[in-house]
Amino acid sequence: MLATHDSDTAQGPIGIFDSGFGGLTILREIRNVMPQYDYVYLGDNARTPYGTRSFELVYEFTRQAVRWLFARGCRLIVLACNTASAKALRSIQQIDLPALDPSRRVLGVIRPTAECIGHYTTSRHIGVLATPGTVRSRTYELEIAKLFPDVVVTSEACPMWVSLVENQEYASEGADYFVRKNIERLMERDSAIDSVILGCTHYPFLLPKIRQYMPAGVKVLPQGDFVAHSLENYLSRHPEMQQRVSTGGTCRFFSTDTPESFNEGAAWFLGDRVSAELAVLE
Ligand code: DGL
């Protein structure tokens, strides 16, 4: 069990975890929908990107992050990272949670996104743009097949996109080359696609370019809104968890990289001044 002096009913913030800045796109939507709660954002910026790493490493890094957020008092954590949701979530839920604290919860972003997609496509052909790790895991294919077996899913790995975002190059001319290349490849593989999931939380920062190169009529679906409403719904169905989330309306930011570089990035990404603190994961 997790070493904690809290009683079972003690309250804590909601933890939001990503490999870097991408989870800020999820945090922003969650806070829009539920501004009343307290949040702790943790970005593993020192070890980003996760999308090209092995299953074992993503699992180990994510497990460290979950333990760290639990130790900060979080009862509920959202892995605001598709790669971690695809590669680590199931093992954390099945292996780690029972040993750490079975009353706490760790949720991901893939299932809530899969639950919505069937309502957007009319051609029943959808595309997923994601990291190589998420694509290789085939988690989107598996989750969508369970919910909407008639939907054909084509996934395209975009290995450069996270680095473009993390390095604040997402609006540069260099980004055009990679965004166009991956979208063209996806649409060549299935021209009947009418809806495309942005299956990586970093990708909404590339949205203007993605919209520019996506064929007219194809819907581009960032997942922040899906995840935020799914979390709201989850809390309304689980009052025992809702009562354990504190409601001060605060948000603290932590990064495994220097606070200065996180603050600079967050100013770009959120358009907000934040004052991050260093997190040491082990
Ligand atoms: N934001 C992460 C995701 O949603 C990016 C992963 C990475 O670090 O490559 O997959």
| Residue boundaries of the structural domains of the chain | 14-108+225-278, 111-222
CATH number of 111-222: 3.40.50.1860
Residue 41 φ then ψ, to 5°: -100, 130
Cα–Cα distance for residue pair 149/142, rounded to 1 Å: 9
Contacts of 268-271 with CB under 8 Å at 24 or more apart are: 268/168, 269/21, 269/24, 269/25, 269/205, 270/24, 270/28
Rounded to 10 deg, the angle between the 110-117 and 224-237 helix axes is 100
Contact 96, 63 (CB under 8 A): yes
Residues 92-126: b if buried by 16+ CB within 10 A, e if exposed: beeebbeebbeebbbbbbbbbbbbbbbeebeeebb
Cα–Cα distance for residue pair 33/10, rounded to 1 Å: 23
Contact 130, 199 (CB under 8 A): yes
Below-50 pLDDT ranges, the chain: 1, 3-5
Cα–Cα distance for residue pair 199/191, rounded to 1 Å: 19
CA separation, residue 257 to residues 57, 115, 185, 204 (Å) = 18, 34, 34, 22
| 112 C-alpha to ligand 1 centroid (Å) | 17
Q: Which atom in ligand 1 lies closest to the alpha carbon of residue 134?
A: 10
Contact 154, 125 (CB under 8 A): yes
Contact 190, 154 (CB under 8 A): yes
**Are both 14-108+225-278 and 111-222 of the same fold?**
yes
Nearest Cα neighbor of 220 from 231, 206, 232 is 206
Q: For residue 67, what pLDDT is reported?
A: 98
Residue to probe by mutation, ligand 1, list 111, 166, 202, 206, most atoms within 8 Å of CB: 202
Active site residue 81: yes
CATH number of 14-108+225-278: 3.40.50.1860
| 47 C-alpha to ligand 1 centroid (Å) | 11
Residue to probe by mutation, ligand 1, list 16, 17, 19, 197, most atoms within 8 Å of CB: 19
Residues 7-34: b if buried by 16+ CB within 10 A, e if exposed: eeeeebbbbbbbbbbbbbbbbbbbbeeb
- Give Cβ neighbours of residue 32 (< 8 Å, ≥ 6 apart): 228
Q: For residue 9, what pLDDT is reported?
A: 77
CB atoms within 10 A of CB 129: 25
CA separation, residue 207 to residues 3, 184, 210, 219, 264 (Å) = 42, 16, 5, 12, 21
For residue 131 and ligand 1, the question of a CB distance below 6 A is answered with yes
pLDDT tens per residue across span 189-213? 999 999 999 999 999 999 999 999 9
